[in-house]
Structure 1
Amino acid sequence: MSIQRRPKTGKDKNGRVRWVARYRDTAGREHAKTFDTKTDAKAWETEQLRALRTGTWVDPKDQQITLRAVVQEFADSSTRPGTEKVRINLLKSLGPMGEVPIGELRPAMISAWVADLQRGPRPLAANTVANRFSMLRTALNRAVDQQLIPRNPAARIKAPSQVTHVSADGLPTPGQVARLIRVWRDGDDEMGVPAREDMALAMSVAAQCGHRLGEVLGLRPCDLSVVAQTVRVAQQRGGRPLKTESSRRVVSADPGLISDLLAYAERCGVGDRSEVFGELSSAFVGDAMRRSRKVGLVPVGCTFHTLRHFHATQLLSAGVPVKAVAARLGHANAAMTLRVYAHVLEVDDVRAASVVGDLLRAECGMDGRGGGGLRAV
């Protein structure tokens, strides 16, 4: 641990004086860095020694690893295909920042990257930006845990806002959902829609039970009970684990739907523990919904996941308790359901105000009749 002048006397051939600071790490290896001033050299040496004492010291060589390499390792560590896919999307969106050594990464760089995702030439949706920032912060936290960097440069950056509610715009009506299912069940040559009983049944499960696509595709005959009239959610497509622990649930279902699912499975020779929709791919489902939007079967922006939102909003509008709806959707708690479907409850709030107003007017004689019952709402 020392600071030495170079050259020891006078100046070098360029007329300069340089200062070299040295220290040894916990393994006894020497590290050195050259500075223009003695003050800068001393400050750097002091910082390194403090890091060694506090256990936050990081080998300078490790800090030269690029951000792209860190995120690539983060993606490679994924245990689920879906998780790996979204982390690869993060990797693709890093841009020039991906080539920056993590030791040189600064909060301002990350903030600029987020702004570019939001308002750049190809802006992303608010939730997509928020999710990518969250994944980047997690990847950098791993780098801290692996002692590649002393601290996370994204730790104090305010996370981008997420849109947590579902807008009523784009939600199909019950009539539209019924027609959507009917057209895919029977087929329609004019619309270019083939008859696909499996597609129609999958749509029915999402609309009637509120399942996510992965949960629909993971259904097996052993998850269906005609006697109890229930559908069990136990896995995703390919036996993959569910999104969260709260996603594991049993929901009541229309007995006709359960019978149709079992009958279809039997006709297709599906075993009790095999997947009912084994011939239906997520890619085909996405294409089917795009085709349905194109021919006007559903509103613009409607996806397969929208059928889950349709299920929830119909229940809430009908007065089903939020706690019961949350359980059917597999939400961790009712608060999550309230955040996502707040617009439905706003409508109910207007109805509630109308009911109470009518009651008081009637009981106080404000309507000129004095007494009387509640107006039907």
Structure 2
Amino acid sequence: MKLQRRPKGEGSISKMPNGHLKMTITLGVGVDGKQKRRSVTAKTKTELMRRVAEMRVQAGQKPTQDAAIYFSDLLEIFMKEKERVVKEGTLRNYKYIEPIVFAPLRDYRLDRITPDVIDYVLDNVTKVDGTPIQDSTLFQMRAKLAAVLNFAVDKGFIVSSPMSKTRRRKQGKRRVDVLVIPTEEDMKQLLSDARAKDNKKKKPHLYLYPLFLLAIATGMRLGELLNIDRVRDIDTKRGTVHIHSQLTIHGCDRPLKTEASTRTIYVQQDVLKTVLTIVPPLETTSKLWGFNGKQICRSTADTLIQDFLKTCTYLPKGFTFHCFRHYHATQLLLKGINPKEVSKRLGHASVKTTLDLYAHWIPEMDEQAANSINTDFIL
């Protein structure tokens, strides 16, 4: 039974015996001079139109107005594409945003999403639990929404993105304005408390003292540290650690944050010796860090570390494990190490990232720069 008939080449919709809908469309002419026809089936008209639009785009055609898709369809295509090309952390960010920013737009047809609609959604955004969202977070969410709609433009689903005519949002405080950098006294006290904590624990467990010591000495990210293989990655003769993968919630040996994150760094020999002496080999793997004789999982490590740090009331407000990295970087810069070398050691994508993060936190560097100017010309 036919539900609808369209002009030749436009495609036709029919109802199949099983209740599904079918549409046959023309996708141009082949090298043999014959028309290329394709059939698409789906349970609903919305799903059928989405598949037709996607097929037309893949064939280099623009979707017809009747084949316009909804934001929910676009989001499905977008996420499938991103799953293949982006890092896990970026993908998690999109999934976190989905129920907050994307969900209110799901039932909108793409060509009916206006700047006013977007502004209304962003003006009324709250967290899943109903609490307000910070300006800096909303700014990032707006950028993610813009990426989805720009993807729709690239695929030919819409002619232009409505984001360009929406209101600009406050960027909020930059990351460099909210860095928490502990003092040397803080680090000494922390290491002392971690060692005492390790001595009180029943073994085997996650050894906090050597973990914190290596974090201070290397500036490595937590995921990078937790994925160290004592046989493959540590060279005790040269005093180096090779960083090529990380431990995430998805498992070990996962890709690093950026290509520049793959690196080999030197570590003080006494630090490596201390770490390898305190931390015994695991029973089931050559990975350095473990819990109950096995390689530790990321969620367990996060919990153990956070629970301990909460007891260290002398630490500055907002201190997290990542602050070890900030401490390492600023100590190197304060001691006159070239920012480019610091950038390589941290695995930053460029030295600009390093300077943007840390330069204005070090007034001593500015004072040193001022005093280096020759003033012999003063009369």
Using the size of structure 1 for normalisation, the TM-score is 0.69
**Fraction of identical pairs, as percent:** 24
1:135 equivalent to 2:148? Answer no
1:105 equivalent to 2:113? Answer yes
Inter-partner Cα distance in structure 2 for 1:229 and 1:188: 25
Identify the residue that residue 183 of structure 2 maps to in structure 1: 173
User: What secondary structure sits across from 1:341 in the alignment?
Assistant: helix
Change (3 A) 1:212 1:169: closer
Change (3 A) 1:226 1:207: same
Considering fraction of residues, name the structure with more strand. 2
1:301 equivalent to 2:318? Answer yes
Identify the residue that residue 144 of structure 1 maps to in structure 2: 153
Which of the residues 281, 288, 296 maps onto 2:305? 288
1:247 equivalent to 2:261? Answer yes
1:27 equivalent to 2:7? Answer no
Change (3 A) 1:72 1:294: farther
Task: Name stretches of at least 5 consecutive residues in structure 2 with no aligned partner.
Answer: 1-5, 14-56
1:161 equivalent to 2:200? Answer no
1:230 equivalent to 2:240? Answer yes
Amino acid at match of 1:299: P
* Alpha-carbon contact 1:116-1:123 (below 8 Å) kept: no
Could you say what the CA RMSD is over the residues aligned between the two structures, in angstroms? Answer: 3.7
Which of the residues 334, 338, 361 maps onto 2:355? 338
- What does 1:1-377 align with in structure 2 at a 5 Å threshold? 27=10, 57-65=62-70, 67-76=71-80, 77-79=82-84, 81-94=88-101, 95-117=103-125, 122-154=131-163, 161=171, 163-167=173-177, 170-187=180-197, 197-221=206-230, 222-237=232-247, 238-264=252-278, 266-269=280-283, 271-272=285-286, 274=287, 276-277=289-290, 278-279=295-296, 281-286=298-303, 288-289=305-306, 291-354=308-371, 356=373, 360=375
For residues 305-350 of structure 1, the C-alpha deviation after alignment (integer angstroms, 9 at most, x for no partner) is 1111111111112211110110111112211111111323444213
Larger Rg over CA atoms: 1
Amino acid at match of 2:10: A
Shift of 1:294: 5.0
Shift of 1:218: 1.6
Shift of 1:301: 0.6
Amino acid at match of 1:327: K
For residues 54-91 of structure 1, the C-alpha deviation after alignment (integer angstroms, 9 at most, x for no partner) is x77423354342x3453355445525543332211110
Inter-partner Cα distance in structure 2 for 1:91 and 1:145: 21
For residues 99-146 of structure 1, the C-alpha deviation after alignment (integer angstroms, 9 at most, x for no partner) is 323221123333444444599973334443343233222222333344
Amino acid at match of 1:339: D
Change (3 A) 1:299 1:183: same
* Alpha-carbon contact 1:74-1:87 (below 8 Å) kept: no
Inter-partner Cα distance in structure 2 for 1:307 and 1:133: 31
Change (3 A) 1:298 1:99: farther
Inter-partner Cα distance in structure 2 for 1:280 and 1:223: 19
Change (3 A) 1:256 1:214: same
Q: How many residues align?
A: 314
Amino acid at match of 1:285: D
Inter-partner Cα distance in structure 2 for 1:194 and 1:310: 30
User: What secondary structure sits across from 2:83 in the alignment?
Assistant: coil
Amino acid at match of 2:137: T
Task: Name stretches of at least 5 consecutive residues in structure 1 with no aligned partner.
Answer: 1-22, 31-51, 366-377
Change (3 A) 1:91 1:254: same
